[in-house]
């Protein structure tokens, strides 16, 4: 009895169309990264278990896939695990190769990661991450370039987005000026929910988390910054920053955060950035990790959450013995970008088939005639298939249909006698007798 084939839950096969579409996303991102001098690295799928353990919290440790050599006893402790993200392997890479690396180090990495999560819609046990970072410089040009990259990637993909930006230093300043510097995590966890649960529920949660009535009251301008800004400028980041500068007057770190944001927005003006940007004081994202700017990108025309995110960090490599290396990075969510492009019907139609023409022959002589023509077309860079046997024309046409090949070049005795082929346009159904030169010209368009 043969086995019924299947794959592990939470994993996926990618067929030809999915691969063409995924490659379109990755190629677009990769070419934009290249314009900014980011270069690709790859790390092994498996890392030593010590490299991974303790880096993702107790919950994360449980989601690691561990690897055993088949020869090893089942009871012996596995020494390796599959990578859980690209961040920890990147930190490990930077420290391990620090003598060879030219800093600032601008790298990107596009590889799968594995998590033993409970599989559910849109959550997989194997999925690709696409991370871009510059490490070894605290210049805000890092932030600037990542924002420019976001602008250009989504411009090329045709997705309208808004970039939400915040700064950990501003959040720390807010906690300071309301007199609760030790409550920064509680504050951010609560205000992060503002969009979902509204201001009343946020205030209730803040009190539950130990803030006094006065502290919650003092926080209100942050939760409703709009009224403090002139009409029509409620969403103007520079006006928001000016208002924040007053609010944070008593906090050195808060003012530093405002200054950083002002510099970033100044530079964005200099490069004439057209991206829609929202200074979003409720944005937190993995707060304990980020130390400066925090980014999150949302698609405007799809309800799908964040499709890109990241921020500035100062101690990524400390755990591996290289402290105080500042960097900034973002991660593009390939699966979600794929879903947005699908939902909005934005994938180029040409991805359906890479083949431009199928040769369909009536007999063995015609088949050999087709092989010669196919060779000439390929020498001109045209993707060609030759149906490999003189099957019934209906079958050959069906193959072209299924693979969505736009043209079929039919070869029978008449065509051979005239040194031509009959080119059928599979969309319009039109047919035309053509010489080789004409065929090359038609298919090169």
Residues of this chain, 275-334, that bind a copy of itself according to CB under 8 A:
318-322
Instruction: Select from 26, 85, 119, 141 the one that contacts a copy of itself (CB under 8 A).
Output: 141
Q: Tell me if 437 contacts a copy of itself by CB under 8 A.
A: no
Please check whether residue 146 is in contact with residue 34, taking contact to mean a CB–CB distance below 8 angstroms: no
Which of residues 283 and 405 has its CB atom nearest to a copy of itself in the complex? 405
* Residue 358 Cβ vs a copy of itself, minimum distance, rounded to whole Å: 8
Stretch that binds a copy of itself, among 106-114, 162-170, 332-340, 341-349 (CB under 8 A): 106-114
Q: Tell me if 338 contacts a copy of itself by CB under 8 A.
A: no
Which of residues 192 and 267 has its CB atom nearest to a copy of itself in the complex? 267
- Structure tokens given for 83: 């990578």
Q: Tell me if 350 contacts a copy of itself by CB under 8 A.
A: no
* Residue 72 Cβ vs a copy of itself, minimum distance, rounded to whole Å: 9
List helix spans (H) across 224-333.
Answer: 237-247, 252-270
In which residue are the tokens 């946020």 written? 202
Instruction: Select from 24, 29, 81, 164 the one that contacts a copy of itself (CB under 8 A).
Output: 81
Edge-first strand order for the sheet with 161-167 is 39-40, 105-114, 126-135, 327-332, 306-313, 293-299, 161-167, 276-279
Residue ranges in 367-396 that form contacts with a copy of itself under rule CB under 8 A:
367-368, 371-372, 374-375, 378, 381-386, 388-389
* Residue 224 Cβ vs a copy of itself, minimum distance, rounded to whole Å: 35
Measured torsion, CA atoms of residues 393, 396, 399, 401, in degrees rounded to the nearest 10 = -50
Q: Tell me if 159 contacts a copy of itself by CB under 8 A.
A: no
* Residue 82 Cβ vs a copy of itself, minimum distance, rounded to whole Å: 7
Q: Tell me if 429 contacts a copy of itself by CB under 8 A.
A: no
* Residue 240 Cβ vs a copy of itself, minimum distance, rounded to whole Å: 23
Q: Of 290, 298, 11, which is closest to residue 159 (Cα–Cα)?
A: 298
Instruction: Select from 71, 227, 230, 437 the one that contacts a copy of itself (CB under 8 A).
Output: 71
How far apart CA 421 and CA 121 sit, in angstroms, is 49
Burial pattern 262-294, b for ≥16 Cβ within 10 A else e, equals bebbebbeeeebebebbbbbbbbbebeebbbbb
Measured torsion, CA atoms of residues 240, 242, 246, 248, in degrees rounded to the nearest 10 = 60
Angstrom CA distances, 219 to 177, 193, 212, stand at: 9, 15, 11
Stretch that binds a copy of itself, among 41-49, 161-169, 197-205, 411-419 (CB under 8 A): 41-49
Stretch that binds a copy of itself, among 141-149, 155-163, 173-181, 246-254 (CB under 8 A): 141-149
How far apart CA 218 and CA 240 sit, in angstroms, is 17
User: Which residues are within 8 A (CB) of 288 and not within 5 positions of it... i.e. 6 or more apart?
Assistant: 185
Q: Tell me if 48 contacts a copy of itself by CB under 8 A.
A: yes
Q: Tell me if 118 contacts a copy of itself by CB under 8 A.
A: no
Binding flags for a copy of itself, 5-34, as an x/- string (CB under 8 A)? xxxx--xxxxxx--xx--x----------x
Residue ranges in 174-233 that form contacts with a copy of itself under rule CB under 8 A:
none
* Residue 26 Cβ vs a copy of itself, minimum distance, rounded to whole Å: 12
Instruction: Select from 26, 85, 116, 193 the one that contacts a copy of itself (CB under 8 A).
Output: 116
Q: Tell me if 75 contacts a copy of itself by CB under 8 A.
A: yes
Q: How many residues bind a copy of itself (CB under 8 A)?
A: 106
Q: Tell me if 134 contacts a copy of itself by CB under 8 A.
A: yes
DSSP string for residues in 119-170: PBTTB-SEEEEEEEEEES---THHHHHHHHHHHHHHHHHT--EEEEEEEHHH
DSSP string for residues in 315-379: -TTGGGT--S--EEEEEE-HHHHHHHHHHTT-S-GGGG-S--EEEEESSHHHHHHHHHHHHHHHH
Q: Tell me if 87 contacts a copy of itself by CB under 8 A.
A: no
* Residue 8 Cβ vs a copy of itself, minimum distance, rounded to whole Å: 5
- Structure tokens given for 259: 């200054």
| Torsion-angle region of 391 (φ positive above 0: left; ψ -120 to 50: alpha; else: beta) | beta
């Amino acid at each position: 009895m043969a086995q019924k084939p299947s794959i592990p839950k939470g994993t996926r096969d990618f067929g030809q169309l999915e691969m063409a579409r995924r490659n379109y996303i990755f190629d677009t991102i990769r070419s934009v990264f290249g314009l900014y001098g980011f270069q690709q690295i790859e790390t092994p799928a498996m890392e030593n278990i010590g490299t991974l353990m303790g880096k993702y919290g107790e919950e994360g440790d449980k989601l690691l896939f561990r690897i055993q050599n088949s020869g090893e006893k089942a009871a012996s402790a596995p020494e390796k695990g599959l990578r859980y993200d690209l961040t920890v392997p990147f930190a490990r890479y930077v420290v391990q190769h620090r003598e060879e690396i030219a800093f600032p180090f601008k790298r990107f990495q596009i590889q799968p990661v594995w998590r033993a999560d409970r599989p559910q819609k849109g959550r997989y046990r194997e999925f690709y991450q696409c991370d871009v970072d510059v490490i070894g410089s605290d210049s805000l040009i890092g932030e600037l370039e990542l924002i420019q990259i976001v602008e250009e990637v989504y411009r090329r993909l045709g997705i309208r987005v808004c970039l939400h930006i915040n700064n950990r230093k501003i959040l720390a300043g807010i906690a300071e000026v309301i007199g609760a510097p030790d409550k920064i995590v509680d504050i951010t966890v609560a205000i992060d929910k503002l969009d979902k649960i509204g201001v009343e529920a946020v205030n209730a949660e803040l009190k539950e988390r130990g803030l006094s009535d006065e502290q919650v009251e003092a926080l209100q301008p942050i939760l409703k910054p709009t009224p403090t800004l002139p009409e029509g400028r409620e969403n103007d980041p520079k006006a928001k920053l000016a208002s924040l500068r007053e609010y944070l007057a008593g906090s050195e770190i808060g003012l530093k955060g405002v200054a950083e944001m002002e510099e970033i927005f100044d530079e964005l003006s200099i490069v004439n950035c057209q991206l829609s940007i929202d200074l979003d004081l409720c944005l937190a994202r993995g707060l304990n990790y980020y130390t400066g700017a925090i980014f999150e990108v949302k698609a405007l025309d799809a309800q799908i959450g964040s499709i890109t995110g990241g921020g500035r960090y100062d101690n990524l490599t400390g755990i591996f013995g290289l402290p105080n290396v500042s960097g900034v990075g973002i991660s593009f969510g390939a699966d979600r970008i794929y879903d947005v492009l699908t939902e909005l019907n934005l994938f180029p139609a040409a991805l359906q088939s890479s083949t431009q023409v199928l040769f369909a022959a009536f007999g063995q002589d015609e088949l050999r005639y087709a092989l010669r023509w196919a060779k000439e077309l390929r020498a001109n860079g045209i993707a060609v298939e030759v149906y490999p046997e003189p099957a019934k024309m209906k079958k050959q046409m069906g193959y072209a249909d299924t693979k969505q090949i736009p043209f079929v070049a039919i070869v029978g005795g008449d065509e051979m006698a005239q040194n031509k082929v009959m080119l059928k346009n599979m969309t319009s159904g039109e047919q035309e007798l053509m010489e080789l030169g004409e065929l090359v010209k038609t298919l090169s368009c």
